[in-house]
Structure 1
Amino acid sequence: MSDSSPERKTVTACVLIIGNEILSGRTKDANLAFLAEQLNLSGVRLMEARVIPDVPQTIIDTVNAVRGQFDYVFTTGGIGPTHDDITSECVAAAFGLPLIRNPEAVRRLQAHYPPGGLNEARLRMANTPEGAELIDNPVSIAPGFRIGNVFVLAGVPAIMRAMFESLRHSLTGGLPMQSRTVTSTLPEGAMAAELSAIQDRFAEVEIGSYPFFRMGKPGTAIVLRATDVARLALATDDVKAMMTGLGDSPVETDAE
């Protein structure tokens, strides 16, 4: 089926960002924006993201809640060598599977570390649910894994990105979300009613209003997103016409 087919389904995803360090503010998440952008390019629409702590039951319950709701789930964080890296065992528990020391993961680690360098802590990075498919890690070797529709990735941004590139080919996407942005010097309250009417006419187009201040003056960016390029274009034209009718000169930009 071609990408232009209107019958192609929307493929959805959820990201689980796991780690007390994110919630405490000690570490700034750098993975969500990358995953959102790259998933869209693959035709997968990120519908939800959650930040959860290193609490076993929370991880188990959240994985089970979202893996039945979305086509794909991506977790980041918690698969390193230390005691608080508990994502692998929690994902195994969520699927009701034993946690095993994956022989192929062990082999990769053995080939990577010098003699005597592969200690018990590092061997923890070879633990996966039984039956999991490994995700290559060309940066630091210790793999991520996939079980069912859940992809378990590292939290370190460079490693997570490399893992994602390794798994990208395995994703079956739908139509990618297209985006157009129109900016105006009008405050959003001045066009709220007209914008609501446009949204009613184009229910399949997401329309967001984002106020800003530049050089002390207010303005608004209207972001329109849809998989149907033709309907997106019509809605964008209506937004521009609405702004013009209110006495402004709208400008379309590339950035959301």
Structure 2
Amino acid sequence: MTTLPPRGRLGFAVMVGPDGDLPEALLHDLKAAGYTGIEPNCYQPRHLPAIIERCRNVDLAIHALPTGRWLKPDQAREDYEAYTQRALDVLRAGATMAAALDAPLIFGLIRGTPAIGAAESEAFLTTVIRSLVQTTLDLKILVEPIADDEAAWPHTLVQGAALLERLNLPNVKLLADSYHVVRSGQDWHGDQHRAMIGHLHIRDHGRQIPGDSRPEYAAVYAAILRVWQEENLVLSFEPNIELRDTLENALAGVAWLDRAASR
């Protein structure tokens, strides 16, 4: 039988509406289901203060802020200096809020074209991260490796770990996502780079709550659950869904976790 934490440090990546819509009733339901916090997928920092206040009202933590996911290195290539400055203008607002909440800022869904190589992507990512760390005291950052059919470099945990080694910044960690580990075609390397992992995601093909009939995901799920248990990290479910389906999927996530614990 698998022994898992009793739903401690359990999060959900909530899709926020374009106008910052996030009903407080939904947050109450997530809390009642056993979630301890959320990641608000909100790319406009101006909406974050209201979201943070709603979470405080129901005693839900902000586990991480995904503000950094909108960066596009292919646009940076066209006018590197101007785009990098624009990125920093937006991200500094998110970074300030993240540091105040003691929540990491997520980078990694850095969408780009196939023409954008690893060196260009790394240079852009490094520039932005170093600048933010220098200007925002106590900022924590998560770099999320994304499969190469969705984003620019890094694509695997190994590549992400190499970036962290070169950055040599103790407050920068990796986000390990089961979906992208499988999609990258690489074996799980989270145990090898465990000290570099600061956050965990579980989701299935199509970015839905895991099913029980996809054997190619089973080993990765088991490894992520093991790291969650042993390292006291946040584990989040991250389906890409419309807001109206959030609660149904969140409940499915808890049910899946209960089944995993009983095996």
Pairwise same-fold verdict (TM > 0.5): no
TM-score (norm 2): 0.29
The higher relative CO (CA closer than 8 Å, separation ≥ 6) is in: 2
- In terms of fraction of residues, the more strand-rich structure is 1
TM-score (norm 1): 0.30
- In terms of fraction of residues, the more helix-rich structure is 2
